[in-house]
Amino acid sequence: MSVSPVSLSTLDLEAKIFGRPTFVSRVIELAERIVAAMLLCLLLPLLVVVAIAVVILSRRSPLVAHRRVGYQGKQIWVLKLRTMWLPGNHRLRLLPFVERLPTMPVPVIKPRRDTRVNSRFAAFCRKYSIDELPQLWHVLVGDMALLGPRPLTEDEIAEHYELDSVYLLSVKPGISGLWQVKGRSRLNYKQRRRLDLFLLRHWSLGLYIRILKATIPSVLSGKDAW
């Protein structure tokens, strides 16, 4: 199923869904892009070290990209550091620096033990969201935001959001959001959907700041993440 782009204009959506002036959203977007650029520069040594470790352990390209649906139905390839590979692979495969992966079915509840994650190093990166740091690039180029609903596949949106997808696709997907600080991996789709829609329908600068502040300890603690 193909998700159709939202037909309403950006200004109408901002007025009807968020109830905030346009210049506020533009200021926030600019601030997020500046922060993303600063974080990428600051974290570049860490990203390089982790990428090298991934190549050594997996014998494959360090980055993978998953196709997701972004703002107004735009298709985006979301970057992550590779954390899944077959054990005992000793031959280095010459692949592009970023390997685009086919869309696979996503479980309703994320399993605590995924057999595809067979490295303690990879599990550590997933627990503390190190594997998602490359997504700061998407914020920098304007395809994602620091805060917003997580980018989903077409099938996930069609199955779990249905008519409410108009709200979901009216904003840029985010690296963090409300359900990422309210249960994260232990939540099912019904709970995630409820929190996503609450965020979209009750957006305020105060809520934005509270989620942003809650994201930092949530990431550093690795709580509810696997």
User: Residue 17's pLDDT band (boundaries 50, 70, 90)?
Assistant: very low
Distance, C-alpha 79 to centroid of its chain: 9
The answer on pLDDT for 3 being more than 50 is no
Task: Using the structure block, give the residue that is written with the tokens 């109408």.
Answer: 12
63-69 vs 174-176, strand pairing mode: unpaired
Handedness of CA 31, 37, 41, 43 (dihedral sign): positive
User: Residue 90's pLDDT band (boundaries 50, 70, 90)?
Assistant: low
Residue type, 36: A
The predicted pLDDT at position 84 comes to 93
Beta-strand ranges (E) seen in 88-148 are: 98-101, 145-147
Residues 126-171 have pLDDT tens digits of 999 999 999 999 999 999 999 999 999 999 999 999 888 988 999 9
Average pLDDT, the chain: 87
User: Residue 210's pLDDT band (boundaries 50, 70, 90)?
Assistant: very high
The answer on pLDDT for 16 being more than 60 is no
Beta-strand ranges (E) seen in 44-138 are: 63-69, 75-81, 98-101
63-69 vs 75-81, strand pairing mode: antiparallel
